Amino acid sequence: MMMYKLLYKLPNVPDEFINAAWKYCGMNNDGEIVNNFETTLRGHGRELYKDGVLIGKSSANLRKKFSDSFEQWARENITPNFNDYGINFTESGMNYSGPHYDISRNYTLIYLLKNGGPDAVTRFYKLKDPSYKNKDNNNHYDDYNKLELIDEIKIPLYTWCIIDSKVIHSVDNISEGRIGIQISLMENLWNE
């Protein structure tokens, strides 16, 4: 079962869209915050536990459209068959994008502009007990002890990566905030 695949043959995102994405997130091209946009996200995270101990909060994780012309470029250069796209960013200072699976898409194409720090890693899990239902029967999991790690990747910067977003996944060890362009797909067009 494929959890992720690096897609080196896809074209790099042109600088004009990368610059638009940085600007939208309130940062310069080096990832330095130039206004307080990210601080408006604080306090929205859910509590995460391991071994019965609170280990932190999950970052608010927003995905917003940032450039109408990017959509046209992506449809012409990546695939015409996607649901939506946007810039996705997590809060600086929050160490987790907690375990979850996506509801609105099956696969996610990710193009990281800022990876979240040297130890940030995308992890994939399965439930230790397949009959387990989390407290609100939603798509988020707050207790790492209920999950078994099955794969992980440090997604490189400026490289397209597709992930199976119906598999429970998280990003852990975020130390610097994480910013990436994402495209939502219902099918994996690169499943060879």
Cα distance between residue 122 and residue 24, in whole Å: 24
pLDDT for 34 beyond 50: no
Instruction: Name the average pLDDT for the chain.
Output: 85
Contact between residue 4 and residue 153 where contact means Cβ atoms under 8 Å apart: yes
From 91-105, 111-125, 135-149, the region with the lowest mean pLDDT: 91-105
Which ranges in the chain belong to alpha helices (H)?
Answer: 15-24, 68-77
Q: What are the boundaries of each domain within the chain?
A: 4-9+19-28+54-185
pLDDT for 42 beyond 50: no
Contact between residue 166 and residue 124 where contact means Cβ atoms under 8 Å apart: no
% pLDDT > 90, the chain: 50
pLDDT reported for residue 96: 80
For 161-181, the pLDDT digits (tens) are 999 999 999 999 888 878 899
pLDDT reported for residue 92: 64
Cα distance between residue 112 and residue 180, in whole Å: 4
**Is 0.85 surpassed by the pTM of this model?**
yes
Reading the block at residue 170, the tokens are 């998280």
From 40-49, 61-70, 109-118, the region with the lowest mean pLDDT: 40-49
CATH 3.40.50.300 is right for the domain spanning 4-9+19-28+54-185: no
pLDDT reported for residue 39: 40
% pLDDT > 70, the chain: 85
